[in-house]
């Protein structure tokens, strides 16, 4: 019986594998076959496409005002800009270096302030953690004392109950 079921299982797996392969590769073969049939019916030369599209517009046609702009005239009437443009290259570089130095100093100051604030908060959190640890230790000590007192009370209760039973008390 087990040989027969093993052979049946092998056949079922083989059929399943073939069906899976057909499901996976079948559509690709179908479209390839359909495309080759379609190509056989079409002649080798295609008819030229007839386009009635307008010619593309140039930038001057889209925005005619752009052609009239000239860079040398830019900022001619602005005295501040004119003064900046007349400065020497070395002066501009030294000014840029001064600005970068100022920015780096401001950044350094902000970082120092942030670092000091972080240290202050860290010490505050450390103090809070120490308070919590102290409170936890106090509570733990109180719990241990309460457990010890409860154990002592249970012993005393058991002793009194034994004495009462010896004297004839039957309890609940």
**pLDDT tens per residue, range 141-154:** 999 999 999 999 99
Mean per-residue pLDDT over the chain, rounded: 83
What is the per-residue pLDDT for 74?
61
**pLDDT tens per residue, range 96-108:** 999 999 999 999 9
What is the per-residue pLDDT for 29?
80
Q: CA–CA separation, 103 vs 101, rounded Å?
A: 5
CA distances from 7 to 14, 15, 21, 152 (A): 11, 12, 21, 77
Whether the Cβ atoms of residue 85 and residue 75 lie closer than 8 Å to each other: yes
pLDDT over 70 (residue 70): no
User: What's the whole-model pTM score?
Assistant: 0.36
Which phi and psi angles does 75 have, rounded to 5°? 75, 20
73-86: average pLDDT: 70
Residue found under tokens 């409170």:
135
């Amino acid at each position: 019986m087990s040989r027969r079921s093993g052979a049946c299982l092998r056949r079922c797996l083989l059929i399943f594998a073939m069906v899976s392969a057909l499901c996976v590769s079948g559509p690709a073969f179908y479209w390839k076959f359909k495309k080759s049939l379609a190509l056989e019916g079409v002649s080798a030369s295609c008819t030229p496409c007839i386009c009635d599209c307008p010619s593309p517009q140039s930038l001057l046609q889209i925005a005619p005002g752009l052609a009239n702009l000239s860079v040398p005239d830019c900022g001619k009437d602005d005295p501040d800009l004119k003064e900046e443009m007349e400065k020497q290259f070395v002066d501009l570089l030294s000014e840029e270096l001064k600005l970068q130095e100022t920015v780096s100093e401001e950044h350094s100051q902000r970082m120092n302030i942030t670092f000091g604030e972080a240290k202050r908060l860290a010490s505050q959190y450390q103090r809070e953690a120490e308070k919590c640890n102290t409170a936890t230790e106090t509570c733990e000590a109180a719990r241990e004392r309460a457990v010890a007192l409860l154990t002592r009370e249970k012993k005393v209760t058991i002793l009194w109950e034994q004495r009462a039973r010896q004297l004839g008390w039957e309890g609940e």
